[in-house]
Amino acid sequence: MFQRYIPELLRHTPRPGARGFAVLAGTEAITRGMLISVFPIVMYRAYQDSSLVSGIYFVVGLFSMCWGLLVPWLVRWIPRRWLYTGGALSYVVGAALVIFGEGELVAAALCFNMAATVTVFVCFNAYVLDYVASADLGRCETLRLFYSAASWTLGPAGGVWLLHFWEPAPFLVAGSAALALLAVFWWMRLGNGKLITRARAPTPNPLAYLGRFFAQPRLVAGWLFAVFRSAGWWTYVVYLPVYAIENGLGEQVGGIALSLSNAMLFASPLMLRWVERRSVRFGVRTGFLSAGIAFVAAGAMGALPWATVLLLMAGSAFLVLLDICGGLPFLMAVKPSERTDMAAVYSSFRDVSGILSPGVAWLVLLVAPVSGIFAATGLGLLASWALAGRLNPRLGWRMAVAAERRRAEGAAAE
pLDDT digits (tens, 9 = 90+) for 278-304: 788 889 999 999 999 999 999 999 889
What's the whole-model pTM score?
A: 0.73
368 domain-assigned? yes
Whose CA is closest to 311, among 367, 245, 240, 364?
240
Residue 346 has pLDDT above 50, yes or no: yes
pLDDT > 50? residue 190: yes
Residues 6+ apart with CB under 8 A from 205: none
Q: What is the number of residues in the chain?
A: 414
pLDDT at 194 over 80: no
Measure the CA–CA gap between 166 and 163, rounded to whole angstroms.
5
158, 193, 228: which is the final residue of a domain?
Answer: 193
Residue 242 lies in a domain: yes
Could you tell me if residue 97 is inside a domain? Answer: yes
- Residue 15 scores a pLDDT above 60: no
Quote the pLDDT of residue 185: 92
Q: What is the pLDDT of residue 405?
A: 53
pLDDT given for residue 8 in this prediction: 47
pLDDT at 103: 64
Do 90 and 63 contact (CB within 8 A), yes or no? no
Mean pLDDT of the chain: 80
> CA 70, CA 78: separation in Å to the nearest integer?
12
Do 58 and 87 lie in one domain? The reply is yes
Please check whether residues 181 and 225 belong to one and the same domain: no
Q: Is residue 340 within 8 Å of residue 75, measured between CB atoms? A: yes
C-alpha pair distances (Å), 25 with each of 12, 143, 356: 21, 9, 26
Q: What is the pLDDT of residue 2?
A: 39
Q: Report whether pLDDT(328) > 50.
A: yes
Does residue 229 lie within any of the structural domains?
yes
Residues 305 and 218 in one domain: yes
The whole domain housing 127 covers: 14-193
Does any domain span residue 90?
Answer: yes
- 336 versus 123: which is more confidently predicted? 123
pLDDT tier for residue 193 given thresholds of 50, 70 and 90:
low
pLDDT at 1 over 70: no
CA 240 to chain centre: 19
Query: Do 406 and 275 share a domain, yes or no?
Result: yes
Residue 200 maps to a domain:
no
Residue 182 lies in a domain: yes
Check whether residue 177 and residue 218 sit in a common domain. Answer: no
* Lowest mean pLDDT, pick from 11-15, 177-181, 213-217, 325-329: 11-15
Residues 258 and 400 in one domain: yes
> Could you report the per-residue pLDDT of 70-120, keeping only the tens digit for each?
887 888 888 889 999 999 999 999 999 998 876 678 889 989 998 999 899
Report the Cα–Cα distance between both ends of the chain, in Å, rounded.
34
Residues 216 and 189 reside in one and the same domain: no
Residues 180 and 291 in one domain: no
Q: How confident is the model at residue 51 (pLDDT cuts 50, 70, 90)?
A: low
CATH of the domain at 365: 1.20.1250.20
If asked whether residues 292 and 324 sit together in one domain, one would say yes
Query: pLDDT tens, 383-402?
Result: 999 998 888 777 655 554 44
Q: What is the mean pLDDT of residues 128-137?
A: 77
Selected residue with higher pLDDT from 52 and 42 = 42
Query: What pLDDT is attached to residue 397?
Result: 53
pLDDT at 411: 41
**Dihedral over alpha carbons 23, 26, 27, 32 (to 10 degrees):** 160
| pLDDT of residue 252 exceeding 70 | no
The pLDDT, as a whole number, for residue 207 is 62
pLDDT at 212 over 90: no
Counting the structural domains of the chain, the total is 2
> Which of 32-41, 44-53, 309-318 is the most confident on average?
309-318
Mean pLDDT over 156-165 rounds to 81
Give me the percent of the chain exceeding a pLDDT of 90.
Answer: 25
Instruction: Report, as an integer, the average pLDDT of 224-249.
Output: 84
Judge if 385 and 244 occupy the same domain.
yes
Same domain, 322 and 359: yes
pLDDT band for 354, please (50, 70, 90 cuts). confident
Q: Which residue has the higher pLDDT, 214 or 27?
A: 27
- The mean-pLDDT minimum among 107-116, 227-236, 257-266 falls in 257-266
Q: Are 239 and 156 in the same domain?
A: no
User: If you average pLDDT over residues 409-413, what whole number do you get?
Assistant: 45
